[in-house]
Chain A
């Protein structure tokens, strides 16, 4: 029973990682960039949700939508200002810019509102515990799982059934050829950043409800772990990010359940290094040889 309890916790946590990982994997798939600032977009989403609830007094879903919308705008602004001028620059320059953007968002947030943590209102979602064969499932974790699932299905729909999704897949496959076929590559990249950042914003609100405590530097660790999840599933592959996120959440919960909760954060990075050494393309990826 203990094991199943940990599985349930792990799936709730994993769905948050999966939502953030989707943004990483989409951006990486389309511009081959590790968007270090993604974890901070997640943090901004969490704060937007918090202020929407406490100041505007709205409910869960309006707060979620507001956070997603503002994160989408933020993601597009970051892309336009910081990443677009570097589209043909050396990879190292882009990666360092991403680190710079990440630090900038964190410390501007601290500058604006201070570094003190904030407590998420706990009355946002109905809190009832559901007992199922001795396993306690809170209604909150069901809500979290449900929201994540809906968002992921929506994303699958966008990517596979709509015109912009088709453009995204084309640009990710070959940006030059896509341009020749009349696809507006810049707009497609903007849309990718917008969708990825909106998912991160949603994850931020959900994270706030799940952990109740938010602070300006909270994006760093979940951001890195979500990246690990994206790599685990195979970066650039959307179902890979979902599976990777869920897997990572479950592994972390199991490690905590075994009594090594202090080592939990370390396990994610050990998994990262192991997967990079033994299967760099991830669980779902194919190996591609570099051509001279």
Chain B
């Protein structure tokens, strides 16, 4: 009984998630949702995956990485090469995308051992640009004109990937390893002094985060028909960063909510790209000036329902407000 009480919230969310899946599947099958809405839904899911994976690196581990589009690009191209050039099934493409991006994450995770804060940020930004320029110059993947990819992303695929991403990242955060990562975010030197292997956890966070960014890349590539290096510039990285920052540095549900809302906003502002970017940047500046921890801080959505318990001295995981 005690286990059920502790895990009740988890199983309720799983059941709700599958109910959501079934409803959307039915709506798509019955043709109620038109292509425009399905597109928006897929982009939303891809953005949520990107936001969640970057949240693990920035929000939980406090490693300020702004080259996330690089991992996204590696995943997109790796899966496209698998399915289009080598004619392998989509599942292999998705898996390869994740693994390729994870290897890239390891490569960039290793320098992160020596870099902190601003320097890490600029190094990851440089990494993202190197990926883009490399893709631009490799003729095998089509150079600047990009690769055409057949449409293979379906709603069950999108849902499965999104579900696994959220599940892994949420459970990782609440595990011993996640606690270790949070301690690194709060104070790296103190965490090190307490016997936490900071090297191991920083690289692990990069590896897991980039793995899921790669999978998001695979879904994106097989949804978009064509992928070009210019889709993965650092404006894309900034987009992902904005989801995480606006949602709240350190709040998974915050990042997810921000990704969903901003995807809707940018879909509606698609015909006015300048206005969209001006609104984005003003919101970003105002949030940083008046609420530097983001809209949700480190609180999760579920803790909004638990306020009574917290007031009685129960566990309150919304206490800390510092990042990096």
Contacts and interface: CB of A to CB of B under 8 A. Distances in A.
Interface of A: 32, 34, 82, 85-86, 89-97, 99-104, 106-108, 110-111, 220, 224, 227-228, 231, 262-263, 265-266, 269-270, 272-273, 276-277, 280, 290, 292
B292 A273 contact: no
A107 B292 contact: no
B23 interface: no
B277 A106 contact: yes
A103 B133 contact: no
A90 B238 contact: no
Contact of B289 (A82, A270, A276): A82
B196 to A, nearest CB: 15
Given A276-B114, A280-B119, A269 B129 contact: yes
A101 B274 CA distance: 14
Nearest to B279: A107
Nearest to B246: A96
B280 interface: yes
B152 interface: no
Interface of B: 58, 64, 66, 111, 114-115, 117-119, 121-123, 125-127, 129-130, 133-134, 136-137, 189-190, 193, 234, 238, 241, 245, 249, 274-275, 277-278, 280-282, 284-285, 288-289, 292, 322-324
Contacts of A265: 129, 133
Contact of B238 (A82, A94, A99, A272): A99
Q: Among B111, B274, B280, B284, which residue has the most Cβ atoms of chain A within 10 A?
A: B274
A43 B241 CA distance: 24
Contacts of A104: 278, 281-282, 285
Contact of B121 (A95, A103, A220, A280): A95
A210 to B, nearest CB: 22
A100 B241 CA distance: 11
A96 B284 CA distance: 8
Contacts of A32: 118
Nearest to A227: B122
Interface of A is mostly: helix
Contacts of B133: 262-263, 265-266, 269
A104 B275 CA distance: 10
A269 B130 contact: yes
Given A82-B289, A103-B281, A107-B278, 12 more contacts: A34-B118, A90-B322, A90-B323, A90-B324, A100-B288, A103-B284, A111-B275, A266-B134, A270-B130, A292-B189, A292-B190, A292-B193
Given A86-B292, A227-B122, A95 B238 contact: no
B126 A272 contact: yes
Contacts of A224: 125-126, 129
Contacts, number: 122
17 contacts: A34-B118, A90-B292, A97-B289, A99-B241, A100-B285, A103-B238, A224-B126, A228-B126, A266-B134, A269-B129, A269-B130, A270-B126, A276-B114, A276-B122, A276-B123, A277-B115, A292-B193
Contacts of A89: 288, 292
Nearest to A97: B288
Contacts of B130: 266, 269-270, 273
Contact of A82 (B117, B245, B285): B285
Nearest to A216: B274
B250 to A, nearest CB: 11
Contacts of B288: 86, 89, 93-94, 96-97, 100
Contact of A91 (B114, B118, B238, B280): B118
A276 B289 CA distance: 30
Nearest to B108: A273
Nearest to A291: B189
Nearest to A262: B137
Q: Among B66, B126, B245, which residue has the most Cβ atoms of chain A within 10 A?
A: B126
A271 B277 CA distance: 31
B126 A269 contact: yes
A272 B189 contact: no
Contacts of B234: 220
B289 A91 contact: no
A277 B285 contact: no
Contacts of B284: 96-97, 99-100, 103
